[in-house]
Structure 1
C-alpha cells in the first residue's frame, strides 16, 4: 500500500510539472488561425443556460468549448447555475413561494433537484434539472468538450476554490490531458484565482475583467488569460496582454464576452482576440471560418 501511494505521488507530481511546461489549448492560438469559440453557458441561445441540454446542443453544433458557472447549495453541493438566486431560471417561485429571495445557498441539493430549470426557456425543455458540477463534467467527458469554469461570486462561498478542485480531481479532470487542453478556471475575483493557483498551480486560470496595463504583470503571477467584456476591448489592450507572460510562462491569452453577432465578432477578431464567448457559437464559428 505504501509503495502504491509513493508511486501515485510521483506520478501526480510529474503530471503537474508537465502541465506547467505545456500550454493549454486555451492558452495558445488555434493552429488553423481561427479563434476559439466558447459556448456561453452551453449553447444558451438554443437551450436553457447551464443545463445538460445546453451542453449537448453545443456539442451537436460542433462547439469544442463551453463556459459555465459554479455555486454551492446549503448542504455543500456544487451546482451549475449563473444567478445567485434560483428565481429567473427555475420554477422556485411557484414551488417555494415563501422563501424569497430564493438564493442558491439557502436551498439543499435535494430541493434544487425538484425544480424545473427548463420550462422558462420553452416547453420542449420542461423538466430539465439544475446539474451538479459532477454531472456536468461527466457529460463533457462523453462529448469531449473543454470547460471554461467560472467560480461565481466565490466570496459568498468560503472554500469553494478548494472544493471545486476536489470535485475536478475526483472526476479525473486534473490529469495531464485535461489540464493541458480542456480546462480553464476563471473568475471576476482575483483573490479566488490566487487561491486556485496556490492550491493547484498546474491549473490554467483566467481573470474576468480588464486590469490596467500597468497591473498586467501582477495578474500574470496567478493567471494565464484576460477575459474581458467586448465593449472594453481595444487593439492596444489586446497587444499589451499578448506581450505579457502568464503564470505558465506563455503569452497571456485574450478572450472576450458575450458576442452574439457577426459584425462584432469580425471587429474583435481584427483586434487580435484569441477567443469569443457567445450564446450563438454556431454563428461565431461560421464567422471565424469566413474570416480565416
Structure 2
C-alpha cells in the first residue's frame, strides 16, 4: 500500500515530548529542534486560534495561568511564550514531516465561517503541503471533513479519544474518508495490561485498517510498546521519548 509513511516512522509528540523536568518545553521551537536532533522523522504541532484570529501552537485550551487562548489576542499569548504557526513551520527543516493537530474551539460552531479555526488554517496547510510531507489530525471530525472538502490533497487522520474502542476507531476513520487512523496506545493495550474481552490484537487491527486503505498511527507508546507495535505493522508512532523509541526501533531492525 502506497501511503504517507515508510513504516515504522517516529513522530515527536509536541516536539520532543510532553513537558518533563530538565527537558525543553513542549510546542516550542527548542523542542521541535530537539526532536529532530534525537531522530524524529516528523514533528507533531498543536494549532489553535486566538481572539483576533491568530494561529498559535499550544496544546491546552488555556495558558498555564488559566486564561483561555480563544479570549486573548495573539500578542498577549506570544508574551506568555507561545509561538505562532508561521514561526513553528519556519523552524522545522523541510525534510521533516509535519503532523498538524487541529484544536478547534466551541466558538467555531457559531462564529462566521471565515473566522473558524479551519478557515484560518487551510491556506497555511495548502502552502506547506507543496513543500514537505504533512498530514492533519484532529479529535474533531468536522475539521477533517473541512480538509477533505477544501484541500483533498492533504491526508487526514482521525484521533478517537483516549482508550476509544478499536472497532469505532478504525470504522469511524474509514467512514470519514481518512487516509490514517490515530489510535491511543492504551486502546491497543500496553505491555503488562490484562487481556480485555473482545479487544482485537494489534496485528489484526492494523490488517483491517490496511485493507480499508488506511495507515495506522499510535500515540503515545513507550519504547517497548513502540517496537511491539512496529512488529505488528503499525506505520508510525507519536512519542514522548523520541530518542528511546528511535533506539528501540533501530535495535529491532538490527535483529531482524
Which TM-score bucket, shorter chain as reference? 0.7 to 0.9
CA gap of 1:272–1:154, structure 2 versus 1, over 3 A, is: farther
Q: Answer yes or no: is the 8 Å Cα contact 2:53–2:120 preserved in 1.
A: no
Q: CA deviation at 1:239?
A: 1.4
- Report runs of 4+ in structure 1 exceeding 3 Å deviation: 153-158
CA RMSD of aligned residues (A): 2.2
Q: CA deviation at 1:54?
A: 0.4
Q: Please, which runs of 5 or more residues in structure 2 have no aligned partner?
A: 110-115, 189-200
CA gap of 1:198–1:274, structure 2 versus 1, over 3 A, is: same
SS in 2 for 1:147: strand
Q: Answer yes or no: is the 8 Å Cα contact 1:217–1:244 preserved in 2.
A: no
Q: Answer yes or no: is the 8 Å Cα contact 1:50–1:81 preserved in 2.
A: yes
Deviations 1:94-148 (A, max 9, x none): xxxxxxx410111111111211xxxxxxxxxxxxx211001111112x4631110
Equivalent residue runs for 1:82-161 within 5 Å: 82-87=59-64, 93=65, 101-115=66-80, 129-140=81-92, 142=93, 144-157=95-108, 159-161=116-118
Find the aligned partners of 1:131 and 1:239 in 2 and give their Cα distance. 39
TM-score (norm 1): 0.71
TM-score (norm 2): 0.81
SS in 1 for 2:152: coil
Q: Which residue in the other structure is 1:254 paired with?
A: 216
Would you say how many aligned residue pairs link Structure 1 and Structure 2?
226
CA gap of 1:52–1:157, structure 2 versus 1, over 3 A, is: farther
Equivalent residue runs for 1:76-87 within 5 Å: 76-87=53-64
SS in 1 for 2:174: helix
Q: Please, which runs of 5 or more residues in structure 1 have no aligned partner?
A: 1-21, 88-92, 94-100, 116-128, 246-251
Find the aligned partners of 1:279 and 1:238 in 2 and give their Cα distance. 22
Greater Rg over alpha carbons, structure:
1
SS in 1 for 2:157: strand
